[in-house]
Structures are given as C-alpha cells and as structure tokens.
A and B are shown apart, each in its own frame.
Chain A
Amino acid sequence: MASDLSAFYILLKRDLTLAYRHRAELANPLLFFIIVVSLFPLGISSESKALQSIAPGVIWVAALLAAMLSLDSLFRSDFEDGSLEQIALSAHSLPLLVLGKVLAHWLVTGLPLIVLAPFLGILLFLPDTAMLTLIATLALGTPVLSLVGAIGVALTVGLRRGGVLLSLLVLPLYIPVLIFAAGAVNEAARGFPVAGQLYFLAALLSLSLTLAPFAVAAALRISLS
C-alpha cells in the first residue's frame, strides 16, 4: 500500500493531467480577470493619475473574483463522478489529499494570475516600483484564497445551485488578504517599505496552510454524508 505522501503526489499528478486535458476551461477565469480589469478605465477615466491610484485595489479585487469563480471546479467533477467519495473513503489522511487537490488547483488557476498581473499593472499605469510587490502579494495571497475558498466549496459541493452561495460564504473571509495585499501594493507605489504587510500575508498563508485542510476535510465529510 502506498504511503500518504505518494498518494498526495499521485492525486496531484492526476489533477494536473486532468487540468491539462481541459486546457480551454482554464483560460476562462484568466479572461475574466483581464476583462474585469480593462472595464475600470472605461468606467472611471482614462487618465493615468486616476488609474494609478486605483490600480492595486482593482487588480486585487479582480484577482479575488477570478479566484472565486474558478473555485467551483475544485471538487465539482470529482463529486459528480463519485471519485470524491473514493478519495474520502481511502485509508490516507484526507487533509493531506485535500491539500494535494488545492495545490493542483492553485497551480493551474492561481499561478497564471501572477504571471498576468504585471501586464494588467502596465495597463493601469502602476509604477514600476510596485510591480515586484504586486507579484509578491499575489504569490503569498492567491494560495490563501484557494485554501480558504476550498472550505466554502467543500460545504456547498452537494448543493445544486452553490455558485452564488459560495461567494456569500467565501468573500467575507477574503477581506484580510485583500486589505494587506492591496495595502502593500499601494504603499510600494508611494515608495514606502512593505515588509510588514508581506509578513502578515505570509502569516495568513502559513495559518491557512496548516488549518484549512482540516476544515476542508471536515466539510467534505459532511457534504458527502
């Protein structure tokens, strides 16, 4: 029998392969991210000053919404074809397996956001000095979004219309990430040090990395019962 860790790798590889086979679906949250950001200059003003001041908030709110929209696919197909039940029934530690699924999900939805964000920063005239901070906050923040969001998905996966409910459950929990991340980018744009906010984000990441898998596992067991 395979060890817990190898089960983790197998699940990770399986989810990445599955994601690779459905490449077109992966692009949707990213397109959403780009379109939402490009709506703001149209809705507010094309002036570089105005856009510069809202750029960190806009990029982060759009990233938040894109991350939330992509969450639904985390457990949905596995729930529908019954493999989620098999995963929950397996002898391996469910929190660890959940972590593998969330990691795979983040690699295909969170990581591309980080790659895209600097280009959107340019579109909104974000100063170059803030670019690195934007990438750093996204690198620390988007895993938190995936981990915390997974709790919400696990609670609503059994429901037929979980989509709107999911946003109601998850968005309030995203607020600390938004505050620290957008705050850090704002400060960086003004040329202030941002180490404090990055430490906070790192703390949130380690907290959610250690606690969220257990909450997800508990929530999955409830949804599957």
Chain B
Amino acid sequence: MWAFLHKFSSPKYFYALSGRLIPWFGWFCLAFMLAGLYYGLFVAPPDYQQGESYRIMFVHVPAAWMSMFVYMVMAIAGGIGLVWRIKLAEVIAASSAPIGASFTFLALATGALWGKPMWGTWWVWDARLTSELILLFLYLGVIALNSAIEDKRTASRASAVLALVGVVNIPIIHYSVEWWNTLHQGATFTKLDAPSIHISMLIPLLLMAIAFKLFYVVVVLKRARCEVLERERNSSWVQELVKKYET
C-alpha cells in the first residue's frame, strides 16, 4: 500500500499514468455531459412555476457544488503537502485553485442569469450568493499568494496554510452570512431519500454533477502535468522527454 503510494506520488510515474488516464476520464465526461444535457434540455418537463428558465439549474447547481468540492480538495491536498511534503499534493493544490475559482465564477454568473427572470434582478445580497462571492475572494487570495512567491514549493506551502485557514472560516462565513440575510430558495436536496425535486429533473442534475466532477479531474490532471514538467524541469526524466520530442 505505502509502496504503491510512494510510487504513484513520484512526479515521473504520475506524469506517465495521468497521460494514460486523461482520455478515459475525458470520454466518460463527454458521455455524461451529453446525456445530462439531453435529459436536462429535452426530456425533463418544464417547471410549473419557473417554466423553461429553470433549466439553467443543470449548470448552476453542479458548478456551485464543485466550487466547494474543489476548495476542499485544494485544502486537503495542501494540508497533505504541508505535513508529508509530498510534491504531487502541492502540485494538485496549486493546479486546483484556478479551476475552483472558475467554477465559483460560473456558479455566480449562471445564478445572475437565472436571477434576472426569476427574482427580477441580477444580484441580491442573499446569504448563499454572498458566501459564494466570498468563496471567490478566498480563491483569488490563494491564487494571488501562489503567484506572488517566486519559489514554487514555498508558494505551495504558504497557500496551503491560507487554504486551511479558509476551510476553518468557510462554515463561519457561511452561517454568519445566513444569519445576516437570506432569500434564496431552500437547498435543492438536503436528504437523498426525500428530495424536494422530481425524479425527472433529479436524473439530469446528477448526470451533470458527475460530468462536472469528471471534467474537473481531466482539467486538474492536465494542469498538474504542466505544473510537474515546470517544477521538475531540472530532473533527468523531463530532459529525456524533451529530447525525445525534439528529435
């Protein structure tokens, strides 16, 4: 088990393995996304209250889920890198930050587009919108810190500390904002056994959620590969790789 982990977490092995895995994840992602979009846009019935415009939910809700999921991945990977000094964990944390920020931005943008016809306004200072906005600020802080420090490994460790501080703060921010002001509709489903959403809408939502996860995996692996090459540029295997491509 440990031997496997050590082997997997070596940058060289990761580079080779991820190269083989990315196409698989990519095709599965495409399949799930096409199925989710088909079911979401054509099969699911229009909402009795919101008509057709609710369909943006199939992008909005998975993006919002991913925005929090990616932050957790980033913080956990950062923590692992901080404690065990595993290079690969640092790489994953560093390459997750921009993706998570993009998901957060996507959730905010689709939320604004959805809010205009439903609430009659692009933006309200509602609890969940506000905490999503603050999450975006936290991401931007991590990205800014990461790019401000020259030495990549120091940068990774510093942003890992910041991400972990953010993890402690996220629930506090979330509940303080919720207490401050709320207008948002209740969570789409809180319990899996009794969701407040019809099954015909739940299926495309879950398909899209899986597609978004797979999309994240593909993009994070691609980014991590570039990051690994950059960080390991002085090692012999990278130089051999470069020579192979040159000839």
Contacts and interface: CB of A to CB of B under 8 A. Distances in A.
A13 B179 CA distance: 41
Q: Per DSSP, are chain B's interface residues mostly helix, strand or loop, or mixed?
A: helix
B158 A222 contact: yes
B17 interface: no
Given A155-B158, A173-B165, A179 B149 contact: no
B172 A204 contact: yes
Contacts of A38: none
A155 B149 CA distance: 10
A165 interface: yes
B134 A156 contact: no
Nearest to B142: A169
A211 B168 CA distance: 10
Contact of A173 (B140, B169, B177, B179): B169
A151 B161 contact: yes
Given A180-B176, A222-B161, A175 B134 contact: yes
Interface residues of A, number: 28
Interface string A210-222: 0100010011001
A89 interface: no
Interface string B73-84: 000000000100
B142 to A, nearest CB: 8
A20 B82 CA distance: 38
Contact of A219 (B144, B158, B177): B158
A3 interface: no
B134 A172 contact: yes
Interface in B7-56: none
A223 interface: yes
A165 B134 contact: no
Interface in A146-166: 148, 151, 155-156, 158-159, 162, 165
A211 B172 CA distance: 14
B141 interface: yes
B154 A222 contact: yes
A175 B154 contact: no
B172 A215 contact: no
Interface of B: 82, 134, 137-138, 140-141, 144-145, 148-149, 154, 157-158, 161-162, 164-166, 168-169, 172-173, 176-177, 179-180
Given A211-B168, A225-B154, 19 more contacts: A155-B158, A155-B162, A162-B148, A165-B148, A168-B140, A169-B141, A169-B144, A169-B162, A171-B137, A173-B166, A173-B169, A175-B173, A176-B172, A180-B176, A207-B172, A218-B161, A219-B161, A222-B154, A222-B157
List the 8 closest pairs (A to B, CB-CB), nearest first.
A176-B176, A172-B137, A169-B141, A179-B176, A222-B157, A176-B172, A179-B180, A219-B161
24 contacts: A151-B161, A151-B165, A155-B145, A155-B161, A156-B148, A158-B149, A162-B148, A165-B145, A168-B137, A168-B144, A169-B141, A169-B144, A172-B141, A173-B165, A173-B169, A175-B173, A176-B172, A176-B173, A179-B176, A211-B168, A218-B161, A219-B158, A222-B157, A225-B154
